[in-house]
Amino acid sequence: MPVISVSTPSDGYDVAIEAIRLATKYMTPVMVLTDGYITNASEPWRIPDPSSYERFDVEFRTDPENFHPFLRDDKTLARPWVKPGTPELMHRIGGIERSYDTGHISYDPDNHQKMTDVRAAKINGIADDIPEQEVEVGAPGGKLAIVGWGSTFGPINRAVNNMRDDGYDVSQIHLRYIWPLPRNLEELLKSYDQVLVAEMNTGQLRTLLRAEYLVPAEGLNKVNGKPFLIGELEDAIRTRLEK
């Protein structure tokens, strides 16, 4: 399932739209991560003009010619959207495994493998439809990258800027897309000597990045219900760059 995260109160607006875009285009649930800190925070935000957003209308199939509910779009691997009430397109959807070819309930092991693989491929393919990961502050390559996601954006951003002003070679990488991960992320992370994943949990993103890319990412973790202090992050950066 795609997982995307909100990093600031105003970011929530675009993340919500992006979640709907992915959900309708790829016909999948999308998980949006937010937290109480974002919910209770505020910032000035210029209300966007809705007409400045690219439309992503859903196309509904109405033509019964060669229709099959289990057809897949070649590119997205998503199925056709059909509104109940459309003549001649009646079908049943549900969670029991179906034959890849006919859509009938199937208990065939090879078919189940194929269906599992194709479902994973559909989600993984979203990586080609999302932007490459950019460096928020600093530049690709260097001594240290602080990687974060979600509401930690603010304190990490301030700490990294402060430390750069003091001459430390540190960059900020902040992820919106947690799954699938941006297609250039492995290369980007490996361009730094050290990677520190600062997150307000026990290290879930760090575990994921290490598992996916075999990068020796370290964790800076805190679960006391309070956001990171800028000083805590500055200390962590100083410790790593002065040793």
Residues of this chain that bind another protein (CB under 8 A): 44, 46-51, 63-65, 83-96, 104-105
Nearer to another protein, 62 or 113 (CB): 62
Side-chain-side CA neighbours of 90 within 13 Å: the count stands at: 2
**Least CB distance to another protein at residue 227 (A):** 24
Short-list 164, 214, 156, 222, CA closest to 185: 214
**Least CB distance to another protein at residue 90 (A):** 5
**Least CB distance to another protein at residue 87 (A):** 5
**Least CB distance to another protein at residue 64 (A):** 6
| Residue for token pair 């001649």 | 88
Burial class (CB in 10 A: 0-12, 13-18, 19+), 224: exposed
Nearer to another protein, 102 or 202 (CB): 102
Nearer to another protein, 48 or 231 (CB): 48
Nearer to another protein, 61 or 210 (CB): 61
What is the strand order of the sheet 177-179 is part of?
Answer: 31-33, 3-5, 177-179
**Least CB distance to another protein at residue 80 (A):** 14
CB atoms inside a 10 Å sphere around CB 129: 13
Nearer to another protein, 89 or 146 (CB): 89
Instruction: State the Cα–Cα distance between residues 64 and 123, nearest whole angstrom.
Output: 28
